[in-house]
Structure 1
């Protein structure tokens, strides 16, 4: 165990984005959230999932390094419901940013994700990313989730209330 791992007590986060392969409506999202929350609670994982009605996803996973990496690299990547999975940042962290949720969920507009990720609008060649350091991206995501809750005063209809499990 490295000094960094010891200092952060193996707390790890991973941020990724992906695109749904087909239609991904409320019933599919409800199923995903139900299964994901059960898995995450059993494995000490917390985080938040942002999704657009067009099927784009941005998710933060946080918890023990082995559990987080296994979930992403062995479960999420093999899920045939989405494609273009891309890790935006991962590494050890001092504390959880979304400790209140085993899997929080928020709706985002495509423009919200473009702004969060620093993407220029498509120009026929694809999106251009302004890479953020992972802690800056994490701070932007935290602010978005807090702002979204403040603006609507409601969580996503499929979201459970934040609870402390850890």
Structure 2
């Protein structure tokens, strides 16, 4: 990916609720198509699919970080918001960055069970990110977790 020395990169983090549980084959298909498009637009990032062990759709979530030039990232996010595979798309963080956190991945992916989240460094609950009293602390935990995950799997 272009390293972009102009310091005009955008990092965007959102969460959403899955309309239903997805199979690994469906997620693999989504990921393959996303990687092709993201690579062409020089967008990097990480996609996490979080679902409880019983695969209850009410408890399945997507969490994604997108990084790249602002215009392509914004266009992609607008398309993502219209995608019918999920709903309640919530923008958690949008920030200018100088360096990509996930620069080597056209789109990293991992499916996480709820039990894995609880074992993560710090516990975060996507349902409560809009609680302003906890927002910054929760967001720091999430970003640290995503960076840690990326570091272990690149």
Corresponding position of 1:67: 72
TM-score after normalising by structure 2: 0.76
Distance 2:67 2:106 in 1: 9
Q: 2:125 aligns with which of 116, 119, 124?
A: 119
Offset of residue 95 of structure 1: 0.3
In the alignment, the residues of structure 2 paired with residue 19 and residue 114 of structure 1 have an alpha-carbon distance, to the nearest angstrom, of 21
Following the alignment from structure 2 to structure 1, what is the Cα–Cα distance between the partners of residues 118 and 40?
29
Task: Give the superposed CA RMSD.
Answer: 2.7
Say which structure is richer in helix. 2
CA distance in 2, matches of 1:34, 1:84: 24
1-structure distance, mates of 2:67, 2:27: 20
Give TM-score scaled by structure 1 length. 0.71
Post-superposition offset of 1:133: 6.8
Q: 1:100 aligns with which of 99, 104, 118?
A: 104
- Equivalent position of 2:149 in the other structure: 144
Higher relative contact order (CA 8 A, sep 6+): 2
Provide structure 2 residue ranges, at least 5 long, that are not aligned to the other structure. Answer: none
1:30-69 per-position Cα deviation (integer Å, ceiling 9, x unaligned) = 1110110011001010001111244311110000000001
Alignment of 1:1-166 (within 5 A): 8=7, 10-53=8-51, 54=55, 55-73=60-78, 75-111=79-115, 112=117, 118-119=124-125, 127-129=127-129, 130-132=134-136, 136=140, 137-147=142-152, 149=153
State how far apart, in whole Å, the 2-side matches of 1:134 and 1:68 are. Answer: 23
Count of aligned pairs between the two proteins: 136
